Amino acid sequence: MGRRFISAVVFLFLLGSSLRAHAGATLLLEEPYSVDGTFAGTGHVAVYLNRVCADTPLKLRRCKDGELGVVLSRYHGVAGYDWFAVPLVPYLYAVELPEQVPLYADAKLVSFLRDQYRRKHFEEFIPDAPDGGVSEGPWYQLVGSSYDRTSYAFEIETSAEKDDELIQILNARRNVGRYKLLSSNCADFVKGIINFYYPGALHRGIIGDLGISTPKQIAKCLARYSKHHPELESISFVIPQVPGTMKRSKPVRGVVESAFKAKKYMAPLLVWHPAIVACFAAAYFTGSRGFDPGQHALVFDPRRDLEAPMTAQERREYQTRLERLARGITEGTILEEVKWPRLEATAQPQLDEAGRPVLRLTLGEGPVAVGLTRDNIVSASEAPEIAQHLLVVRLREELRKSAPKIAASDVYNDMLLLEELHRGRSERPSSIADSLGMKAGGTR
């Protein structure tokens, strides 16, 4: 118990040192997913204020020592309110503390974690469904953003005086839904907050976005503003999507860029209205291209300071090491007989005594637990073969060439966990196969 407490304090200190090095406002540019990723591709945007906290999701105050601030964002159709304030770690991962963040996530676990957080913090305005189950609706956007998508962060320093003034303004203003897709969307909300600190810093894209505020446009504006004002402390970093079976998010685009790159739109227009395609092309090449939100970005993890991304050479070396180790992981286990999707379908997510997620699978005569965090994947996993499989899935996602940037230390730590589980499995007399009353290659 004492060790867990000390670890939690250390993790929070590291997170605080990472994000409080420069007190300021951080624009979070979030990649599109689901329907937005398929059709529009403009994504979402929020703002993280590391000196502003909240008594409730609807009322702001200055942070106390050790608190990490909140993420503010405008939403559409969430309990009739215009904006919500959610602490950083819950906003990204739907858990309270960094050591509770899972290494692997699927849709069932994400829904479970979000609902656990809703019941504890949002139930007053987002009640249970009529049958007592998970409430439906867009409220899920309030927490667990990093399960759905990768985000790019652009921080710029702010003053304590302006922070206090913003708190007074937002607390005094009536918080009622103002969302309008073309004139009062999430980008307009964030644009208003950043422009409160630095008037005129962010603006709409007249050519590239047809006069509509988009997440990519205002992120591009803030990056340019920071470059032109080197006297202001600023930094950029990437928050990778949590590995797992959740569908990967897609690159964020502007309005014209999204339409111009969509063959399903442009091909018919090219045949019937080539002049319109020419206009889109001109707008794209003059207004939307050339901004890479991940360029020169550091890598965020809630349990350490910001770090530089790994090099291409490091990536190749870890890929070789991983595949050499992964070849022997399923040998002699039930994973040779029963594929992981079948086992995953029976798994039920739960929380251990420290609030860390675990999976509980029904194998043989009773349930088997598998830890999902750095702190319990070794100690709490009664089925090390499954824990190893989840780590291999995570590492392969981290090491993909097209994956978001990742720090070498994160991959190194994941490899250490995998190797520790591999050693522990060889020392254990039992395995998943024993739990099912089976031997690899057949039945008893």
Q: How far is CA 223 from CA 20, 70, 97, 285, 293, in A?
A: 19, 21, 30, 19, 9
The pLDDT value recorded for residue 273 is 43
Domain ranges (residues) in the chain:
2-245+288-299, 312-443
**Residue 229: exposure state from Cβ atoms within 10 A (0-12, 13-18, ≥19):** middle
Alpha helices in 143-273 (DSSP H): 145-148, 160-172, 186-197, 215-228, 255-260, 263-272
**Mean pLDDT confidence for 139-167:** 97
The mean-pLDDT minimum among 7-21, 165-179, 313-327 falls in 7-21
Q: Could you tell me the two tokens for 189?
A: 């909300």
* Coil/strand/helix, residue 417: helix
Is pTM, for the whole model, over 0.75? yes
| Nearest residue to 135 via CA among 153, 147, 117 | 117
Residues 170 and 183 sit within 8 Å (Cβ to Cβ):
no
**Residue 345: exposure state from Cβ atoms within 10 A (0-12, 13-18, ≥19):** exposed
Distance CA 134, CA 127 (A): 9
Distance CA 354, CA 378 (A): 15
Helices 274-287 and 263-272, packing angle to 10 deg: 130
Does residue 295 register a pLDDT over 50?
Answer: yes
Does residue 22 register a pLDDT over 70?
Answer: no
Distance CA 329, CA 335 (A): 9
| Nearest residue to 30 via CA among 241, 307, 242, 309 | 241
Distance CA 110, CA 57 (A): 20
Residues 395 and 418 sit within 8 Å (Cβ to Cβ):
yes
Residues 108 and 372 sit within 8 Å (Cβ to Cβ):
no
| Nearest residue to 404 via CA among 307, 299, 317, 318 | 299
| Nearest residue to 84 via CA among 120, 43, 125, 135 | 125
Residues 96, 97, 100, 102, CA torsion sign: positive
The pLDDT value recorded for residue 335 is 64
Q: DSSP character for 351?
A: E
With b for 16 or more beta-carbon neighbours within 10 A and e for fewer, the 275-305 pattern comes to eebeebeebbeebbeebebbeebbbbbbbbb
* Coil/strand/helix, residue 313: helix
Between CA 101 and CA 37, with CA 24 as vertex, the angle to 5 degrees is 55
Block residue for tokens 């964030």: 190
Distance CA 252, CA 43 (A): 6
**Mean pLDDT confidence for 412-441:** 65
Does residue 278 register a pLDDT over 60?
Answer: no
Q: Highest mean pLDDT range out of 74-78, 93-97, 250-254, 290-294? A: 93-97
The pLDDT value recorded for residue 299 is 97
Q: Could you tell me the two tokens for 241?
A: 């999507």
Q: Could you tell me the two tokens for 288?
A: 């939307």
DSSP string, 365-398: TEEEEEE-STTTTTTS-S-HHHHHHHHHHHHHHH
Distance CA 373, CA 354 (A): 11
The pLDDT value recorded for residue 436 is 41
The pLDDT value recorded for residue 305 is 95
Q: When comparing pLDDT for 435 and 425, which is higher? A: 425
Distance CA 186, CA 180 (A): 9
Q: What is the distance of C-alpha 422 from the center of its chain?
A: 29
Q: When comparing pLDDT for 3 and 70, which is higher? A: 70
The pLDDT value recorded for residue 168 is 98
Q: DSSP character for 141?
A: G
The pLDDT value recorded for residue 3 is 45
The pLDDT value recorded for residue 270 is 42
Does residue 183 register a pLDDT over 80?
Answer: yes
Q: When comparing pLDDT for 431 and 108, which is higher? A: 108
Does residue 275 register a pLDDT over 70?
Answer: no
**Mean residue pLDDT across the chain:** 84
Say which amino acid occupies 170: L
| Nearest residue to 23 via CA among 235, 206, 215 | 235
Distance CA 392, CA 406 (A): 15
The pLDDT value recorded for residue 185 is 94
